[in-house]
Amino acid sequence: MALGYVRPARPEDAGEIARIQLATWRVAYRRILPRHVLDNLDEAFLARRWSAAVLEPPSGAHRVLVAVEQAEQSYLVGFAASGPADGEALAPGEPADALGPDVAAVTDLLVEPRWGRRGHGSRLLAAAVDLWREDGMSRAVAWAFDGDEATRKFLTSTGWEPDGAARALDVDDMLVPQVRLHVGVPAEKVPAE
């Protein structure tokens, strides 16, 4: 297990978060999303969006967390973003109140592939769960690409399961199927065995 920790993102992390997002998407989604779409993603644009997410979140329950690898130097290696479920978390045709005010939605949970399998994803998810619990959330949802076996396997190994909802994203005239997973948020932190 690597030495590492999770902390809230800082404004100066936005560029690294964007770099991690691009690097991860270009590896993990190369067989899921059209290549030209991945090649044309603008890192500076993504960095501005992440800066806004850190500096001006829609609520106090919207958070961006970063995973840090500790070695001779410290490196940002992953990140997670979540907040109260909104319209983006809904399945097509689902009523606006289907998920309720006590449901958190994960919008991003990425660890750069070269730093994978070192516990960073688990630390990010555990930190997010602790914050959801503080916010009174009883459940969380996340969309995953149907073809993204790594994300689905990671989430299901931590207790998430498909909730039956599905959608297809239109990515440059290509429909990319997604499934929604969900998990209960325990009311109290479960002690480690």
Residue range 142-187, pLDDT digits in tens: 999 999 999 999 999 999 999 999 999 889 888 999 999 999 998 8
| Alpha-carbon span 99 to 86, nearest angstrom | 8
Residue 2 has pLDDT above 60, yes or no: no
- Predicted pLDDT at 190: 57
pLDDT score recorded for residue 71:
74
47-58 pLDDT per residue, tens = 999 999 999 999
Mean of pLDDT over the chain: 91
pTM, full prediction: 0.91
Question: Do 82 and 107 form a contact (C-beta atoms < 8 A)?
Answer: yes
pLDDT over 70 percentage in the chain: 95
On the 0-12 / 13-18 / 19+ scale of CB atoms within 10 A, 160 is buried
The hierarchical CATH code for the domain 4-138 is 3.40.630.30
Least confident of 63-77, 86-100, 143-157: 63-77
pLDDT tens digits, residue range 28-45? 898 899 888 999 999 999
Q: What is the pLDDT of residue 1?
A: 46
When comparing pLDDT for 128 and 112, which is higher?
A: 128
Q: Which of 163, 137, 136 is nearest to 152 (CA)?
A: 163
CB atoms within 10 A of CB 120: 26
